[in-house]
């Protein structure tokens, strides 16, 4: 129901599933609205109506009128059409692979309270065919690539769908799909339903036991998604704690590669933590709430022309020709995609678009991307 939020939301399970005290820590921290989140909500609404239209879940005229209303939203961008089409196309591909039309459910609220109390949420799309279940999650963001592997949000939705639809027959195989079209991230994970149920039982017992004991603060990479990250003492102590001192003769005068790797991991976490602290203090001061040792001052500003038409008219009247006042330069790929749409642009100038290999990028070992081979590195830098 609109306006009602689960205490243990599946979309936040990566946080509270590990740090069970986080929900309690976040209770009195208000939600912050952002334009990015509003864009995502709008894109989801467009995607929902496109699926309803394709699968005949709503009358065509109803879908059209509602889509027209959404396209009149100030946050609407033409590129949303292509990205939502990619989402709908991927689901259509899965459905067309079945010998008969599957059962498709869009924007379905699911209850996972049998796993964790007060746990419910809305799955973007569910596809059922015989003993096979597909869960689809549409991610419009492009900041963080989301994996379908070991994804607690998708697993909880899948368990909710099994509980909801098992009356129609035994579900044996579950596919969990992420569609994140703005960064070309389309991925899937598959699990036997029995294995998924066993995971849910174990996950639920651990979380409920920890909650009953008051919850446990467990800091880690998931902290970046927690609203309480700036004030969390456990995270601060983890990041600031010094390793046990050892005798200099045991450690040596120079850091080992092992120690350098560990220090860099901690430094990256510290950098993210410091940024979160800065945002927290900045917002407090903007609201007029003092924070010891800090204040807001006027930052650097940039001069600007208040009336471009009037200013240029004055310059032309003074004898400066328009050819001197304007410069012509080509649009970049991102701007062209917004103008034409990625699919149309590819049709028109695809032969002129190249995508060279990216340069080696330093990431933690936990990153899911495949490591650069030394052969490829040598080839990239052979001329240097």
Provide the whole-model pTM: 0.77
* pLDDT the model gives residue 207: 95
* pLDDT the model gives residue 1: 40
Q: What region does 301 belong to: left with phi over 0, alpha with psi -120 to 50, or beta?
A: beta
* pLDDT the model gives residue 4: 67
- Helix, strand, or coil here: 107? strand
Token pair listed for 148: 């379908």
* pLDDT the model gives residue 293: 93
Query: Which strand (E) or helix (H) includes residue 239?
Result: helix 233-240
| Concatenated DSSP letters of 48-88 | HHHHHHHTTSS-HHHHHHHHHHHHTSTT--THHHHHHHHHH
DSSP category for residue 127: E
Task: Output the CA torsion 231→236→237→239 (10° steps).
Answer: 160
The domains of the chain, with CATH numbers, are: 10-212 (3.90.320)
Name the one residue in this structure whose structure tokens are 């240029």: 312
Q: Please, what is the Cα angle at 309 between 308 and 310, to 5 degrees?
A: 95
Can you tell me the distance from the alpha carbon of 122 to that of 345, in angstroms, rounded to the nearest whole number?
34
Task: Identify the CA nearest to 84 among candidates 143, 136, 151.
Answer: 136
Are residues 20 and 210 in contact, defined by beta-carbon separation less than 8 angstroms?
yes
* pLDDT the model gives residue 236: 87
- Helix, strand, or coil here: 117? coil
* pLDDT the model gives residue 138: 97
Residue 191 pairs in a beta bridge with: 174
> How would you write the pLDDT of the chain (384 residues) with one tens digit per residue?
445 678 999 999 999 999 999 999 998 887 777 888 899 999 999 999 999 999 999 999 999 999 999 999 999 998 999 999 999 999 999 999 999 999 999 999 999 999 999 999 999 999 999 999 999 999 999 888 899 999 999 999 999 999 999 888 899 999 999 999 999 899 999 999 999 999 999 999 999 999 999 899 999 889 988 999 888 999 888 888 754 444 444 566 677 888 888 888 888 888 888 988 998 999 889 999 999 999 998 888 889 999 999 999 999 999 999 889 998 889 999 889 888 888 888 899 999 999 887 788 888 887 777 888 777 777 766 655
* pLDDT the model gives residue 244: 43
């Amino acid at each position: 129901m609109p306006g009602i939020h689960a205490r243990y939301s599946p979309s936040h399970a990566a946080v509270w599933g590990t740090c069970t005290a986080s929900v309690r820590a976040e209770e009195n921290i208000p939600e912050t609205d952002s334009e990015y989140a509003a864009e995502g909500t709008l894109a989801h609404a467009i995607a929902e109506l496109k699926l309803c239209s394709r699968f005949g879940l709503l009358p065509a005229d109803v879908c059209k009128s509602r889509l027209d209303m959404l396209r009149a939203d100030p946050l609407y961008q033409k590129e949303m059409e292509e990205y939502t089409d990619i989402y709908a196309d991927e689901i259509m591909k899965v459905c067309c692979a079945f010998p008969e039309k599957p059962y498709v459910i869009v924007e379905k609220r699911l209850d996972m309270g049998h796993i964790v109390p007060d746990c419910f949420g809305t799955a973007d799309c569910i596809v059922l065919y015989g003993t096979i279940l597909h869960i689809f999650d549409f991610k419009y963001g492009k900041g963080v690539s989301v994996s379908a592997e070991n994804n607690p949000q998708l697993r909880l939705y899948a368990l909710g769908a099994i509980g909801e639809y098992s009356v129609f027959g035994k579900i044996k195989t579950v596919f969990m799909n992420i569609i994140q079209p703005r960064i070309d991230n389309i991925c899937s994970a598959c699990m036997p339903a029995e294995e998924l149920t066993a995971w849910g039982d174990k996950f639920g017992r651990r979380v409920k036991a920890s909650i009953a004991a008051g919850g446990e603060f467990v800091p880690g990479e998931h902290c970046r998604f927690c609203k309480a990250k700036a004030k969390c003492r456990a995270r601060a102590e983890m990041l600031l704690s010094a390793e046990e001192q050892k005798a200099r003769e045991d450690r040596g005068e120079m850091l080992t590669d092992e120690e350098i790797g560990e220090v860099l991991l901690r430094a990256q976490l510290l950098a993210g933590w410091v940024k979160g602290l800065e945002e927290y203090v900045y917002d407090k001061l903007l609201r007029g709430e003092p924070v010891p040792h800090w204040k807001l001052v006027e930052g650097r500003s940039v001069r600007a022309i208040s009336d471009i038409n009037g200013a240029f008219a004055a310059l032309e009247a003074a004898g400066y020709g328009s050819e001197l006042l304007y410069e012509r330069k080509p649009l970049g790929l991102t701007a062209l995609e917004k103008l034409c749409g990625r699919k149309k642009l590819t049709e028109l100038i695809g032969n002129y678009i190249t995508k060279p290999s990216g340069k080696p990028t330093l990431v933690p070992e936990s990153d899911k991307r495949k490591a650069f081979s030394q052969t490829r590195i040598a080839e990239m830098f052979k001329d240097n």
